Amino acid sequence: MFCEKCKQRPATVHITEIINGQKQETHLCEICAKEVKIQGFGFFPQMNLNKFMAGLLDGDFNSGGYSQTNTTGKVCEKCGVSEGQFASKGLLGCSECYPCFEEKMLPLLRRIHGNTRHVGKIPERKGGRARLVKEIEVNKRQLKEAVSREEFEIAAQLRDKIRLLEKNLEEGGEG
């Protein structure tokens, strides 16, 4: 696939925009993509992720009584970042900030990602084996839940499905 703008180089940047329910895909080469980035996309030219995160954090932290300039609240023992600094900048200082600010981070992650556990994404065109492994993991989790709820018929169906998926995985199939 060639760049839609210059029609000379291979398209390596793929942009998908959904506006008013209408999906529009643009495929550009790296050079043309840099030109488009300079002009900015839609209403969000040069979107700053830190400011975006700080905006999300501001509501959560301020509802807990912290203003953006506030340096009170919990402070990371390793790097000294406070909840107020975290809320104003949207940046953590070190790896120890994650457990330190966990109670504030988990609701934020749940709101942004819909989950607090990273499960990744498998490309549609590729990743048949990875997709099978992930489906087996999901079914095993559902099996444990069904057994704990004593829903043994559902558990038996899940067990059979897991066995079939594992057999397909061993044979190198995609399901």
**CA gap 135, 131 in Å, rounded:** 6
Which secondary-structure segment (H or E) carries 17?
A: strand 13-19
CA atoms within 13 A on the CB side of 119: 12
Average pLDDT of span 119-135: 74
Q: How many residues comprise the chain?
A: 175
**CA gap 71, 82 in Å, rounded:** 6
**CA gap 23, 89 in Å, rounded:** 33
With beta carbons less than 8 A apart as the criterion, state whether 100 and 76 touch: yes
In the chain, where the domains are located? 1-47, 49-113, 128-171
pTM: 0.36
Asked if the model's pLDDT at residue 163 lies above 50, the reply is yes
With beta carbons less than 8 A apart as the criterion, state whether 103 and 63 touch: no
Provide CATH code, domain 1-47: 3.30.60
Of 41-55, 121-135, 154-168, the least confident: 41-55
Contacts of 49 (CB under 8 A, 6+ apart): 90
> Which residues are paired to 23 by β-bridges?
18
Asked if the model's pLDDT at residue 107 lies above 90, the reply is no
